[in-house]
Amino acid sequence: MKNLKVALAHDYLREYGGAERVLEALHEIFPDAPVYTAYYNPEGLGENNKRFAGWDIRPSWFQKFPFANRLLSPFRIFGPMMFASFDLSEYDLVISSSSATHLAKAVITKPETLHISYIHTPPRFLYGYVTSFNYKKHWWTRIGGEIINHFMRIYDFEVSQRPDILVANSKNIAARIKKFYRRDSVVIYPPVDLAVVGKRKPEDYFLVLSRLVRGKGVDIIVEACGKLGLPLKVAGVGPELDNLKKLTINHKPQTINFLGWVSDEERIKLLQNAKALVVAAEDEDFGITSIEAQAAGTPVIAPASGGFLETVEDGKTGLLYGGPGRVTVESLIEALKRFKEDEFKAEVLRENAEKFSKERFKKEILELIKSNLGT
């Protein structure tokens, strides 16, 4: 693949999460590949911006718009134009990484160029999944949103037909792709940082590691642990922080500790020392944090739904509770009462985590490329 000209396309770079981890792994495979993106905001990435230092990042014309960071969400309807404006005619291979509405996967390539699109999920807000922003909160935004979303679903379906190959980040997402895009896909699990492996020193606390936004179910965890008087550390930031703190006002004793933003080093220690990682997102696309916990030898208490069905083995690497429509404070309380830390073996947890390593991801991506380019 030495003479292969490769380009990467990514929805936007203004926060760091699972999608950006995939982009990093792709860039490690092809370090000279430029990254085409709708918008790049180094300030929004904070300390994580150093991860992209020295990269050839090429934002779209939208980058020059006044107040671009605030306008990115409503301007997603123009996503196809942003990515169609890129000239990718010189490349033999284009790999797009996409979860936002018809953005990166909308790039236009030559017929002889192989376009592989890694789909983290079809846009959640378009297809009825819970998102951090509730556009149905007011009647006028609900009506306007439904009208706009109708046309955006049409656009999203159309541009989803452009890539030669769709790659799903889980069987869960492969089923969504089949349902909404009417296409088959190849499942390649995202790369998970297994650097959290180390000597486990369990302490007396449960852990939440999450963006504090609507849909993550952190309120359910806070209420369940508060009612049981269990110690809980909540690491993360987001617009729901104040609402979550209000839930603890009447808790006696006060057992919930909000840590805010934590560094990578603090994150690793928190994972290694927790009794268990607790999650409550009912329809999680995949759930990278649950794998990181297992890599640290820490069991996971998670809903029996979404991507957790592929990452958590009930009774072996954690406990599954609730299910679609049944992830409640009561179902989590029942799971917390059932949880016995000494029933889980760190070596079994770590063995399961190895299935999702970065090395495995790179190997499967390269095999997919070779099988389709014959190189």
Q: CATH for 6-191+357-373, among 1.20.58, 1.10.10, 3.30.70, 3.40.50?
A: 3.40.50
**For the chain, where are the E strands, in sequence order?**
6-10, 35-37, 57-59, 93-98, 114-119, 165-168, 186-187, 206-209, 232-235, 256-260, 276-278, 300-303, 318-321
Q: Which residue intervals of the chain bear CATH 3.40.50.2000? A: 206-356
Strand order in the sheet with 114-119: 57-59, 35-37, 6-10, 93-98, 114-119, 165-168, 186-187
**pLDDT for 238-279, tens place per residue?**
889 999 999 998 877 889 999 998 988 898 899 999 999 999
- Which residues 6+ apart lie within 8 Å of 150 measured at CB? none
Least confident of 235-239, 273-277, 336-340: 235-239
Q: What is the pLDDT of residue 146?
A: 64
**Pairwise pLDDT comparison (133 vs 71), residue with the higher score:** 71
Residue 139 is predicted with a pLDDT of 44
**Whole-number Å distance between alpha carbons of 185 and 173:** 9
Whether the predicted pLDDT of 97 surpasses 50: yes
Of 141 and 57, which is predicted with more confidence?
57
pLDDT tens digit string along 214-230? Answer: 888 999 999 999 999 99
Q: φ and ψ at 263, to 5 degrees?
A: -75, 170
Of 35-44, 100-109, 132-141, 154-163, the one with minimum mean pLDDT is: 132-141
* Whole-number pLDDT of residue 44: 81
Residue 242 to residue 257: CA distance in whole angstroms: 13
Question: Given this model, what pLDDT does residue 153 score?
Answer: 85
206-356: in CATH 3.40.930.10: no
Angle at alpha carbon of residue 284, lines to 281 and 288, rounded to 5°: 105
Contact 44, 68 (CB under 8 A): no
pLDDT of residue 88: 96
- For residue 156, name the pLDDT band (cuts at 50, 70, 90): confident
State whether residue 47 is helix, strand or coil. helix
Distance CA 310, CA 349 (A): 14
